[in-house]
Amino acid sequence: MTIEQLMIQAGTRLSAAGSTTPRLDAEVLLGHVLKRDRTWLYTWSDRDVTDAERSHFDTLVAARNHGEPIAYLVGEREFWGLRLQTRASTLIPRQDTECLVEAALAKATALDGRALDLGTGSGAIALAFASERPGWQVTGVDRIADALSLAQGNAERLGIASVEFLESDWFSALADRRFELILANPPYLADDDPHLGQGDVRFEPRSALVANDKGLADLRHLIVATRAHLEAQGWLLLEHGWTQGQAVAEALRQAGYADVMTLADLAGQPRVSLGRMPACLSS
Which pLDDT score is estimated for 186? 98
Task: List alpha helices for 44-163, DSSP H.
Answer: 51-65, 70-74, 98-107, 124-132, 145-158
- Rounded Cα distance between 272 and 265, Å, is 8
Q: Where are the domains of the chain?
A: 3-66, 79-281
pTM: predicted TM-score of the whole model, two decimal places = 0.93
Q: Tell me the pLDDT tens digit for each residue of 254-267.
A: 999 999 999 999 89
CA distances from 87 to 2, 35, 122, 151 (A): 31, 19, 8, 10
Neighbours of 76 (CB within 10 A): 17
CA distances from 141 to 138, 166, 172, 184 (A): 10, 5, 10, 10
Q: What is the pLDDT along the chain (283 residues), one digit of tens a residue?
A: 999 999 999 999 999 998 899 999 999 999 999 999 999 999 999 999 999 999 999 999 999 999 999 999 999 999 999 999 999 999 999 999 999 999 999 999 999 999 999 999 999 999 999 999 999 999 999 999 999 999 999 999 999 999 999 999 999 999 999 999 999 999 999 999 998 999 899 999 999 999 999 999 999 999 999 999 999 999 999 999 999 999 999 999 999 999 999 999 989 999 999 999 998 654 4
- Rounded Cα distance between 187 and 147, Å, is 15
Fold of 79-281: Rossmann fold (3.40.50)
Q: Tell me the pLDDT tens digit for each residue of 189-238.
A: 999 999 899 989 999 999 999 999 999 999 999 999 999 999 999 999 99
Range 3-66 classified under CATH 2.160.10.10: no
Give which of 275, 277, 281, 282 is closest to 103, Cα–Cα.
275
CA distances from 248 to 115, 185, 242, 272 (A): 21, 13, 11, 9
